[in-house]
Amino acid sequence: MKIDLNKISVREVFDGYKDSAEEGVVAYGGKLDIRPKYQREFVYKPEQRDAVIHTVQHKFPLNVMYWIENSAGNYELLDGQQRTLSICQYVSGDYSIHDRYFHNLTKEEKDQILDYELMIYFCDGTDKERIEWFEVINTAGEKLTPQELLNAVYTGPWLSDAKLKFSKTGCVAYHLANDGGALVSGSPIRQEYLEIALSWINNSNVAGYMAKHQHDKNADKLWDYFQNVIEWVRKIFTNYRREMNSVQWSELYNEFKDKKLNVSKLETEIKELMQDEDVTKKSGIYEYVLTGSERALNIRAFNDKMKREAYERQKGICPDCKGENKKKKWEIEEMEADHIKPWHEGGKTIATNCKMLCKQDNRTKSGK
């Protein structure tokens, strides 16, 4: 990782300053990307913001900042966003301190601020080095999320197009995923929609997909896949329920997209399971009706009172044991509860349907 320390005046940094809201914030003659497009805005509290200006006015040292050089020869502000914004916003007249805006200052006071030198490290290195460095300095204040860190590394035309589709407030991905009920949780501007889409398309390997496609002209493949998943979900699960916004839809789509499914039958089963008090993870119902995996449902466990009642009723004997252990009396700690009548056959998690098995038999039976 190549890191060079530079002294740059506020005057130089402020040159070309432009705040275009969600379209991003630039400065330094248009060469510094203070805040990328469609990235959440970190906001200092007034007292924090004023403290930055106070530091500059009194020629006290500000903490060093980090700029990263991109492939186009420009810079992205890695660390120091709020300090830079506080200074640029004050100089541009966005706020006052003690009822004095920048334009109310004397020329000497203005020059004192504009001539103040910021200590800035210019950073350059491989993608791996950048990620490691980002993680090291991302330890204070408003931390970047993992996706925001990756966005800082894999810049380029692909990311710009992906953020347009997945990260802008009111973006097409948000409208698609929420038209008929939310199928995705989170906020586009916090990069959560982009992260989910990337996780879906590449088996949770977000960084791997971004590295492979960094220099693609657009993110059409990602968008097409996202659309296909959402459209398939709407087609198969026609009755929306709020639990649907926390399902890992891509896994189900990949496995079942080409299979013929009985939509009406699925809805009937889902409706019954939603009313089953033994099903504690309702969002897992959608996986269960397709895969049959009971683990997705997190079936309600027998409580200690039910276990003790069954243990006493069996006198500590495991009904499934054979051979030399057939009549062995186990300690209750050596046993686990199971349904007498299996849950999938209509058995309930109640005391009269509880039996205690030795751990070996129960885990063999459960495939654990």
CA terminus-to-terminus distance, the chain: 47
Of 15-29, 138-152, 176-190, which range is least confident?
Answer: 138-152
Cβ neighbours for 298, distance < 8 A, ≥ 6 positions apart: 279, 280, 281, 284
How does residue 130 score in pLDDT terms, banded at 50, 70 and 90? confident
The predicted model gives 261-268 an average pLDDT of 97
Better pLDDT: 160 or 71? 160
Q: Is 127:150 a contact under the CB 8 Å cutoff?
A: no
Taking alpha carbons only, the member of 246, 251, 163 closest to residue 203 is: 251
The runs of H, that is alpha helices, within 292-357 are 304-314
pLDDT over 60 at 118, yes or no: yes
Better pLDDT: 129 or 192? 192
Q: In what order do the strands lie in the sheet with 65-69?
A: 2-9, 117-124, 65-69, 75-79, 32-35, 25-27, 18-19
Cβ neighbours for 157, distance < 8 A, ≥ 6 positions apart: 215, 216, 217, 218
How does residue 304 score in pLDDT terms, banded at 50, 70 and 90? very high
Check residue 139 and give its pLDDT.
Answer: 60
The predicted model gives 140-166 an average pLDDT of 84
Q: Summarize pLDDT for 348-367 with one digit per residue, the tens.
A: 999 999 999 999 998 887 65
Mutual orientation of helices 206-213 and 192-201 as an angle, nearest 10°?
Answer: 90
Alpha carbon distances (Å) from 28 to 17, 49, 111, 364: 7, 20, 17, 67
Better pLDDT: 305 or 136? 305
The predicted model gives 21-29 an average pLDDT of 90
Check residue 142 and give its pLDDT.
Answer: 60
Percent of the chain topping pLDDT 70: 95
* 128 φ/ψ angles, rounded to the nearest 5 degrees: -60, -45
Of 42-46, 73-77, 218-222, 316-320, which range is least confident?
Answer: 42-46
Q: Which helix (H) or strand (E) holds 338?
A: strand 335-339
Q: How many CA atoms lie within 13 A of 44 on its CB side?
A: 19
How does residue 263 score in pLDDT terms, banded at 50, 70 and 90? very high
Q: Is 68:75 a contact under the CB 8 Å cutoff?
A: yes
Check residue 366 and give its pLDDT.
Answer: 65
Check residue 368 and give its pLDDT.
Answer: 54
Q: Summarize pLDDT for 29-58 with one digit per residue, the tens.
A: 999 999 877 677 667 889 999 999 999 999
Q: Where are the beta strands (DSSP E) in 84-169?
A: 117-124
Mean pLDDT of the chain: 91
Of 70-74, 175-179, 217-221, 288-292, which range is least confident?
Answer: 70-74
Taking alpha carbons only, the member of 90, 4, 71 closest to residue 33 is: 71
Cα gap 226→167, rounded to integer Å: 14
* 79 φ/ψ angles, rounded to the nearest 5 degrees: -140, 130
Check residue 344 and give its pLDDT.
Answer: 86
Q: Summarize pLDDT for 182-195 with one digit per residue, the tens.
A: 999 999 988 999 99
Q: Is 62:120 a contact under the CB 8 Å cutoff?
A: no
Could you please report the per-residue DSSP string of 233-302? HHHH--S--GGGGGS-HHHHHHHHTTS---HHHHHHHHHHHHT-TTB--GGGHHHHHHH--GGGG-BPPP
The predicted model gives 87-112 an average pLDDT of 96
pLDDT over 80 at 226, yes or no: yes
Q: Is 25:40 a contact under the CB 8 Å cutoff?
A: no
Check residue 128 and give its pLDDT.
Answer: 76
How does residue 5 score in pLDDT terms, banded at 50, 70 and 90? very high
How does residue 141 score in pLDDT terms, banded at 50, 70 and 90? low
Token readout for 307 is 């276990």
The predicted model gives 165-187 an average pLDDT of 94
